Structure 1
Amino acid sequence: MKITLIQPSNIVTETQARWLEPFLPVGLGLLAALLRDQGHRVQILDAYTEGWELRGRLAGDMVEVGLAEEEIAAQVRRFQPQVVGFSVPLDTQALRLQTLARWVKAIHPEIYVVCGGAYPSRMVEKVLRLPEVDAVVLGEAEESFPALLRSLEHGGAWDGLAGVAWKDRSGAFAVRPQREPRPGWDALPLPAWDLLPLKHYFQAAGGRRVPLMTSRGCSGSCAYCHTNSLSGEVRRYWPPEALVAQMRQLSGFFGVNEFLFDDDGLLSDPAWMHEVCDRIIADGLKVQWQARGGVDPAAVNEALLGKMRQAGGRELRFHVASGSRRILRQILNMPLDLYQLEKAIDLALAAGFKVSCRFLLGSPTETQEEIYETLNFAWKLRSRGVEEFRFDPGPALGSDATAPASSPDLIIGAAEVEQIQDTAMREFNSRGLVADLTRRMAPGRKPVRTEERFFPTVAPRPRLHPVIPLDDHTAALDIRS
């Protein structure tokens, strides 16, 4: 079958757009490699990365970062897929989901539309209510999505599909429990890097660097994170030999000289990290890497830091979230010891690492006093030598966040939080060391181009364009009872 995998563009406020970081969908690359090995023809459309330099001005102060939906539809029309899969990791990307799906159905009403990723897995019924969406893949897709394709192609038993939700011909929802996470990575191929827009990503990131997945799953229960619900509570690491082989391939074939480890538990297993470093050193790989997903302060020690530096490690990012102990413990459910964090940062700086920290501002019930408590703690870290800071919007935890604030009358609104966030990003990174500012000053980087767009747009109705003849596999798409 011919399959198009799409990462939608990102719709945020103008203020948030200033501090966005590019995001390469390595998970789609892994899924594409798996599907290609099974005989499918696969296309990846990364609207976010390919249109990184574009800013579509929408209503109010909203902007769309990425390709316009008309361009995405044109590329889908040229490829003529039978199945289109949307990967929606972020809530802000879901804002474009329905209109994109509408465009796909306008190209040919028999194209089967599937959604996956963090947002659809959490909002299954909301996504299935969209008339243009046919199915949702829950959690990890490497087994569920190929099984769904086999049922479409060969008319298999739909009741046996685990980890898939779909609509039958009457419109009723059928939701099957999520599959147990794959126990290991050994049977999975390397991501299809040739299908990912690496050239666009290099330009957006300001250098030949790429993100890598090193693990899945998490035993933590932080209130703002959905990793364990998507990938299980047991952390599964990529085998060190396979990870280093992938780094060698990317360095040799694509000229990559820096890797971004985005996993939030990179040091959760120090023995695994030691083995990875030993293999990098033994292979003589002349590369650098950053730990951007968050480092566990409890795992930091001088011996491990020394080994990591020898293996090319240059930057560690700590997820601090808040300087308020009430927010950390009662709202975010983070078992973070701030004193231990300071000691870990001191060790990392002494070992020669550049250190960055990430905070969340505006968590449910957070007061203005607690926000300033966080900013004061961040300033304390800056005085210790931390060079880069990110201040992101706090999570919308809904009714689960019921712990009362000490001063409810000081709880502030989203607009004021965004203003504080923007000011903090500027002030704390005023020395020009923030990644976004570094990329702006990188030589050869294209200037951002703004264009007027409409949202929500009204896509053409089905069959407005000439119907694309699909092959005999299309008949299997009728099996949805």
Structure 2
Amino acid sequence: MRANAPPSHTDVLLFMPPYWDVYGDIDVRKIGFILPSLGVAYVASYLKGNGIKVRLVDVACAIRSEEEVASTIRELRPRMVGITAVTAGMPTVHRIAQITKQIDPEIVVVAGGPHPSALPADTLEEPAIDLVVEGEGEVPLLELARGTSPEAVPGVTFRGHDGGIVSVPRGPLLEDMDALPVPLFDHLPVHDYGYLVLGNALPVLSARGCPLPCTFCASTVVNQRRYRARSPEAFADEIRWIHSRFGIDSYVFCDDTFTLDQKRTVALCEELLRLDFPIRWSCMIRAAGLRRSTLAIMKRAGCRLVEIGAESGDEEILESIQKKTKLHEIRTTVDRAKGVGLLTNAFFILGLPGETPETVKRTIDFAASLPIDFAQFSMFTPLPGTASWDQVEESPDMECIANDWSDFSRYRGAIVNSTALPARELEALHRSAIRRFYFRPATAWRSFRRMETLGDVRRLLHQAASVARMARLRRPQSAG
């Protein structure tokens, strides 16, 4: 920093931008669907454990305005600001970077996360961003915080002296997951976070990465399809520590696929059953080959909600996106989950490459035929770094019609126009899917039956209002 500047209070200030940009007009805070970025919390803890003075700020919960962002930077006076980013949140990242440079041009601004990792040179087109960290952030950010020159840090992209883009190849991924410290949730409003039926909850992770080849998934941008698991003992110890420090007893297991290795899933659940306090949790599961016995021990270990990436109700579309799952497997897994008493949430993507109005309608019919408690219908959004992104760019029959990165919300509007399925027709089908699934007696009855507390009732009312907005329902005006 400048010679006449006051001494730095913080080495690194990490911002978590609000991820609800992904959800368009839905207020995720009101429906109990807001969590801190676990990846950033791990990076913060890793830095702290290596002697770096770090502060983590969640813009989603703790900061409500640009003025508060500026005030935080002035108060903490960091040498470096790090900002994580998904695609739809890039305009927010740009604004935080600009505010930082307006306060002190000498502060080094670093962007990381899925979007900058996929498009590092594009990210550096914003002048207020100095460096991009690609992939996992722990090791590169630690080296930068220690003052190592960017050209000597694997995975860093920056502007060279001539203004050209310089990219240092990524280093190896972290292998020993048990060596990771507990994520840093200090200074975060931990009791403001929550997830669907769990109420107040925090995220935890038992494994990083996923080896599956789904064409639309951006997880590979950071984890390169490498699956790296923690031991059951280390995972349970982390939950013990979080529970003792914050009193949290509900958790979102953020593994890409918690049941990828069912033998390991059972071992994890056996370890959770040894905890001396009860917990509730949710996780993502894989439908293919999931045994009833695995779901049963998950239920006994505290699982309340399982989430399934169903994606489509058309076999050919599932095959084209390399989902490696059949429709009958999805139905069987839902039935087994319901049979052991688990709540279920299924994700569907409408408008995938190759879709027609008929295939989308088959997906809507399939979703309505399943005894699931929740369904999330998103519109196909090709994310940078995925095979789907390349497919849209190369296809003469598909065109991305987004104006900027903020349009890359999966729920606000269609951004891909295809010959077989125009964007406006896809949006109409999206509204139809929401109405078809949620505005029927079976869904209302399942929602009523799971009510346990006044908080559940409040969340349900907010969820109903959000669903109505997404479906763009309009009450006829009174004749007065």
Q: SS of 2:55's equivalent?
A: strand
Indicate conservation of the 8 Å contact 1:209/1:256, yes or no: yes
> CA 1:440–1:286 in structure 2 vs 1: closer, same or farther (change >3 Å)?
closer
> CA 1:162–1:146 in structure 2 vs 1: closer, same or farther (change >3 Å)?
same
Task: Determine the C-alpha separation between the residues in 1 that align with 2:161 and 2:271.
Answer: 53
1:345 matched residue in structure 2: 334
1:307 matched residue in structure 2: 297
Counterpart of 1:224 in structure 2: which amino acid?
Answer: F
| CA deviation map 1:9-54 (0-9, x unaligned) | 3446854557893231121111111111222221112112336xxx
Q: SS of 1:101's equivalent?
A: helix
> CA 1:426–1:440 in structure 2 vs 1: closer, same or farther (change >3 Å)?
farther
Counterpart of 1:215 in structure 2: which amino acid?
Answer: A
2:429 matched residue in structure 1: 420
Write the mapping of 1:285-304 to structure 2, written as runs, cut at 5 A: 285-291=277-283, 293=284, 295-304=285-294
| CA deviation map 1:188-217 (0-9, x unaligned) | 111112133213224998722112122112
- 1:116 is aligned to 2:112: yes
Q: SS of 1:195's equivalent?
A: coil
Per-residue deviation, 1:302? 2.3
Indicate conservation of the 8 Å contact 1:317/1:356, yes or no: yes
Task: Determine the C-alpha separation between the residues in 1 that align with 2:92 and 2:12.
Answer: 20
Counterpart of 2:253 in structure 1: which amino acid?
Answer: F
> TM-score, normalised to structure 2's length?
0.80
Per-residue deviation, 1:146? 0.7
Aligned length: 418
Q: Any stretches of 5+ residues in structure 1 without a counterpart?
A: 52-66, 449-481
Q: Any stretches of 5+ residues in structure 2 without a counterpart?
A: 1-9, 383-387, 399-417, 464-480
- 1:101 is aligned to 2:67: no
Identity of aligned residues (%): 25
1:465 matched residue in structure 2: none
- 1:240 is aligned to 2:232: yes
- 1:358 is aligned to 2:354: no
Higher relative contact order (Cα pairs below 8 Å, separated by 6+ residues): 1
Write the mapping of 1:46-445 to structure 2, written as runs, cut at 5 A: 46-50=58-62, 67-88=64-85, 90-150=86-146, 152=147, 156-202=148-194, 207-291=199-283, 293=284, 295-330=285-320, 332-381=321-370, 385-396=371-382, 397-401=388-392, 402=395, 410-413=420-423, 415-430=424-439, 431-432=443-444, 442=456
Task: Determine the C-alpha separation between the residues in 2 that align with 1:228 and 1:280.
Answer: 29
- 1:29 is aligned to 2:19: no
1:62 matched residue in structure 2: none
Indicate conservation of the 8 Å contact 1:206/1:442, yes or no: no
Indicate conservation of the 8 Å contact 2:288/2:325, yes or no: no
Per-residue deviation, 1:246? 1.5
> CA 1:318–1:13 in structure 2 vs 1: closer, same or farther (change >3 Å)?
closer
Task: Determine the C-alpha separation between the residues in 1 that align with 2:238 and 2:23.
Answer: 36
> CA 1:299–1:237 in structure 2 vs 1: closer, same or farther (change >3 Å)?
farther
Indicate conservation of the 8 Å contact 2:33/2:195, yes or no: no
Counterpart of 2:36 in structure 1: which amino acid?
Answer: L
Per-residue deviation, 1:69? 2.3
2:477 matched residue in structure 1: none
> CA 1:126–1:107 in structure 2 vs 1: closer, same or farther (change >3 Å)?
same
Task: Determine the C-alpha separation between the residues in 2 that align with 1:165 and 1:302.
Answer: 47
Per-residue deviation, 1:299? 4.0
> CA 1:231–1:13 in structure 2 vs 1: closer, same or farther (change >3 Å)?
closer
Task: Determine the C-alpha separation between the residues in 2 that align with 1:199 and 1:299.
Answer: 37
Task: Determine the C-alpha separation between the residues in 1 that align with 2:129 and 2:21.
Answer: 20
Per-residue deviation, 1:416? 4.3
Indicate conservation of the 8 Å contact 1:166/1:175, yes or no: yes
Indicate conservation of the 8 Å contact 1:22/1:205, yes or no: no
Per-residue deviation, 1:424? 2.8
Q: CA RMSD in A?
A: 2.9
Q: Which runs of at least 4 in structure 1 moved beyond 4 Å after TM superposition?
A: 12-20, 202-206, 401-405, 432-435, 437-448
Q: SS of 2:345's equivalent?
A: strand
Indicate conservation of the 8 Å contact 1:11/1:95, yes or no: no
> CA 1:398–1:305 in structure 2 vs 1: closer, same or farther (change >3 Å)?
closer
> CA 1:206–1:229 in structure 2 vs 1: closer, same or farther (change >3 Å)?
closer
Task: Determine the C-alpha separation between the residues in 2 that align with 1:409 and 1:80.
Answer: 52
> TM-score, normalised to structure 1's length?
0.79
